[in-house]
Amino acid sequence: MGTAAVPDERSASDLTARARIRDVAIEAFALEGFGASFRTIAARADVSPGLITHHFGSKAALRAECDAEVLRHYRALKTEAIADPSASLFAQLTVPGVASTITVYMLRAVNAGGEPARRFLDSLVDQARVVMAQSVASGLARPSRDEEARLRYLTHQAMGAMLVRFLTSPGLTPDEFIASLHDAQKEAVLPILELYTEGLLASRQMLDDYLEYLWEPPGGRTEGPASPQTA
């Protein structure tokens, strides 16, 4: 499944040395990870390492700006998903070019771990919130008793599945990795649709038992989550 090009919301004034450094850094981080040096990024951007330091000061500040730009692209892709809910965001991300760089950057950002990875995942959940709200409002998706928990689970599950394949496919360029995802996508479509449409468990007994536990846990409630909505 193809996708339209990611709309470029930047003005001409943004196409500066700073923006060029940022865009090249995104590509370098996607290719090499966040260990890519200022010298490597400078050579790719055809600027001096000192100019990178002048504009960003530190690797952490450069990465923070790269994270924000990647999330901007991701938000643009999700906007397309709202307009065409039959086209999955996963399919939009798994195309060559800018989208492949964005996808691999996102995986490296999560795999890097630590507080930056946690903030990045939180931002992905924030981005997904708009799509989920629209999907529920349109009747495409059922509402959840805990929308935030579902958002976190779906975001982590989607990123985790791609990250497993990424970590077990070392040495591939972003475009090569994205090409490898197409075979996996073909295998995953049926089980994903079955799980999301028909469910996995043959009865709802486990759900009912858990909802009863949340409502009235053994020993009585002291502190805990709000009472679950009735089914």
Is the same domain home to 194 and 205?
no
- Write out pLDDT tens, residues 157-198: 989 989 999 999 988 999 898 888 877 777 888 888 898 889
> Backbone phi, then psi, for 84, in 5-degree steps?
-135, 80
Domain count, the chain: 2
Is the same domain home to 174 and 222?
no
Is the same domain home to 219 and 118?
no
- The pLDDT of 57-82, averaged and rounded, is 86
pLDDT for 192 equals: 84
**52 located within any domain:** no
Residue 212 has which token pair?
A: 């009863």
Is the same domain home to 187 and 108?
yes
Q: What's this model's pTM, rounded to 2 decimal places?
A: 0.78
Q: Which residue has the higher pLDDT, 189 or 21?
A: 21
- Write out pLDDT tens, residues 188-207: 888 888 988 898 999 999 99
CB distance 95 to 101 below 8 Å: no
- Write out pLDDT tens, residues 86-140: 445 455 555 556 778 999 999 999 999 999 999 999 999 998 888 888 889 988 8
Is the same domain home to 112 and 212?
no
pLDDT for 134 equals: 83
**23 located within any domain:** no
**4 located within any domain:** no
Residue 187 has which token pair?
A: 């295998």
| CATH code for the domain of 138 | 1.10.357.10
Rg of the chain taking only CA atoms, in angstroms: 21
**31 located within any domain:** no
Is the same domain home to 227 and 139?
no
**55 located within any domain:** no
Poorest-pLDDT segment among 1-5, 45-49, 139-143: 1-5
Is the same domain home to 196 and 102?
yes
Give the range of the structural domain holding residue 145, as residue numbers without chain letter: 60-200
Q: To 10 degrees, the CA torsion angle through 178, 179, 185, 186?
A: 170
* Whole-number Å distance between alpha carbons of 189 and 91: 11
Is the same domain home to 121 and 228?
no
* Whole-number Å distance between alpha carbons of 98 and 101: 5
Is the same domain home to 70 and 151?
yes
**21 located within any domain:** no
**207 located within any domain:** yes
**26 located within any domain:** no
Is the same domain home to 140 and 226?
no
Is the same domain home to 164 and 65?
yes
Q: Count of CB atoms within 10 A of residue 30's CB?
A: 24
Is the same domain home to 152 and 229?
no
pLDDT for 90 equals: 53
